[in-house]
Structure formats: C-alpha cells, structure tokens
C-alpha cells in the first residue's frame, strides 16, 4: 500500500520511474492487453486505477522513447493520488 509520503516530486523523473515501476500492471491484470484496456479507461477512482495508468504511461513512454509521456501523466495524476491518499 502506498502513502502520501511515497509520492515523488512532480519534476523528479527518476523517482517517478521508481514510483511507476513499483506497481506491475501486467501482473495485476494478467496481460498487456488487459492492462492497456484498464489504463485507457482513465477511471481514476481507485489507487489501482491510478497506478495502472501511470505504469502503462511509463511502459509506453519507455517503448516509444518519450520520457515526457511519464512526466506529463504523473503531473496529471498526482492530484488524484493526493485526493485518494488523504
């Protein structure tokens, strides 16, 4: 379980990577496709929803060579994490 203290600074790319990698959406959902489907829903109602979306943004950005993908996703998701963790 994560806590609000675990949230990295919005501009700390290395810590955001570690935070995103702490949850494995492929394992959680059982496949790439199921994880992608869940991430693309952008439900943002639970911590699992948020972690899935961030994990998938990290993996997609890594695959495409786009570090901004993860940074932008985290900046967008961070307020949702804060809301659910307080």
Chain segment 33-82, per-residue pLDDT in tens? 999 999 999 999 999 999 999 999 999 988 877 778 899 999 999 999 99
pLDDT level of residue 17 (50, 70, 90 thresholds): very high
| pLDDT score at 46 | 98
Torsion, Cα 25 31 33 36, to 10 degrees, reads: 0
Separation between Cα atoms, residue 68 and residue 27, nearest integer Å: 25
The confidence score (pLDDT) of residue 66 equals 77
Looking at residue 36, what is its pLDDT?
Answer: 97
Model-level pTM? 0.93
């Amino acid at each position: 379980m994560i806590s609000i203290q675990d949230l990295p600074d919005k501009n700390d790319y290395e810590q955001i990577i570690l935070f995103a990698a702490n949850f494995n959406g492929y394992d959680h959902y059982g496949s790439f496709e199921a994880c992608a489907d869940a991430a693309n829903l952008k439900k943002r109602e639970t911590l699992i929803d948020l972690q899935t979306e961030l994990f998938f943004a990290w993996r997609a950005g890594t695959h495409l060579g786009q570090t901004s993908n993860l940074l932008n996703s985290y900046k967008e998701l961070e307020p949702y994490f804060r809301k659910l963790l307080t």
